[in-house]
Amino acid sequence: METLILERDDRNIVTVTLNRPEKKNAINGPMWTELFETFTELGHDDSVRAMILTGAGGEFCSGADLGAEDDGVQHQLGRMDYFAHMALALHHMPFPTIAKIDGVAAGAGLNLGLGCDLIVASDRARFSEIFHRRGLAIDLGGSWLLPRLIGLHRAKELAFFADVISAEEADRIGIVNRVVAHAELDDFVHDWAGRLAQAPPLALQLTKRMLTNAFSMSLDEALQYEGMAQSVTIASDDVREAFAAFFKKTSPTFKGR
């Protein structure tokens, strides 16, 4: 591909690297297209156990490339619809996703990271909902994601002032799951991804779906969903494998069925 690097290891962990380091991985037309196609394809690949999203050249993503050439979309609303489809393709991935953030994560780049299930940042990462500095409104799901992650008032503060905040501050207010030393970032994220790859895929998929939808459900609805999800997992081969491994004092091998 022109703007992305895809790698899959022997644990079926896929790493998607934004690869425009000369532009701090700003998203241009081809990258929007390749992200949408990649997320859509991976979302239908039952063999994938986890995905890592990161950027090349020591930066995550500086946002949309405002200086890029016309992408051929005739109307801005059509362009935003296409961006929305990409964000939804990431949101609906059935397996766990981790954003590995080093350097800058700004604007659409930050919200791309927020669309992942987990965020691990290096201690030199920096974050900004930079839209207002460019006269723009927040997009790529930031208006939905931020309040759920950090609360309404803090979300408004980040969006209104468009300040750049440190990894330490992002950790304090709940944007990231972990901040680690730059030299430890790769090892930490690959350890997490490896642990997720060894977990029961069916149980992870159902748990991810329930947690993602938690704010739109009542407790009664959540309990009913849990009952249906647990009925599915209890009937699975993975549960039988887990119980057998427990009694044999061995490690289970989950296959997602």
> What pLDDT score does 119 carry?
98
Please check whether residue 257 lies inside any domain of the structure: no
The pair phi, psi for residue 122, each rounded to 5°, is -80, 165
Give the CATH number, domain containing residue 121: 3.90.226.10
> What pLDDT score does 135 carry?
94
The string of pLDDT tens digits covering residues 226-254 is 999 999 998 988 888 888 888 888 888 88
Q: Which of 154, 178, 197 is the last residue of a domain?
A: 197
> What pLDDT score does 165 carry?
98
Residue 185's pLDDT band (boundaries 50, 70, 90)? very high
Element (H, E) at 15: strand 13-18
Instruction: Kindly state the percentage of the chain with pLDDT values over 90.
Output: 82
Dig out the tokens for 191 from the structure.
């350890």
Average pLDDT over residues 8-31: 96
Residues 204 and 178 placed together within one structural domain of the fold: no
Q: Which of 155, 172, 197 is the last residue of a domain?
A: 197
Domain count, the chain: 2
> What pLDDT score does 34 carry?
96
Give the CATH number, domain containing residue 205: 1.10.12
Domain ranges, residue 224: 200-248
> Which of 53, 58, 67, 55 lies closest to 25, judged by CA?
55
Residues 16 and 125 placed together within one structural domain of the fold: yes
Residue 149's pLDDT band (boundaries 50, 70, 90)? very high
CA atoms of 5 and 3, how far apart (whole Å): 7
The string of pLDDT tens digits covering residues 151-173 is 999 999 999 999 999 999 999 99
Helical residues (DSSP H) of the chain, grouped into ranges:
29-43, 76-91, 108-114, 142-150, 152-161, 167-173, 185-198, 201-212, 219-234, 237-248
Residues 179 and 238 placed together within one structural domain of the fold: no
Average pLDDT over residues 169-189: 97
The string of pLDDT tens digits covering residues 125-145 is 999 999 999 999 999 999 999
> Which of 161, 159, 137 lies closest to 149, judged by CA?
159
Please check whether residue 254 lies inside any domain of the structure: no
Residue 70 pLDDT exceeds 90: no
Residues 140 and 226 placed together within one structural domain of the fold: no
Phi-psi region of 249 (alpha: psi -120 to 50; beta: other; left: phi over 0): left
Residue 220's pLDDT band (boundaries 50, 70, 90)? very high
Please check whether residue 237 lies inside any domain of the structure: yes
The string of pLDDT tens digits covering residues 27-65 is 999 999 999 999 999 999 999 999 999 999 999 999 999
Average pLDDT, the chain: 93
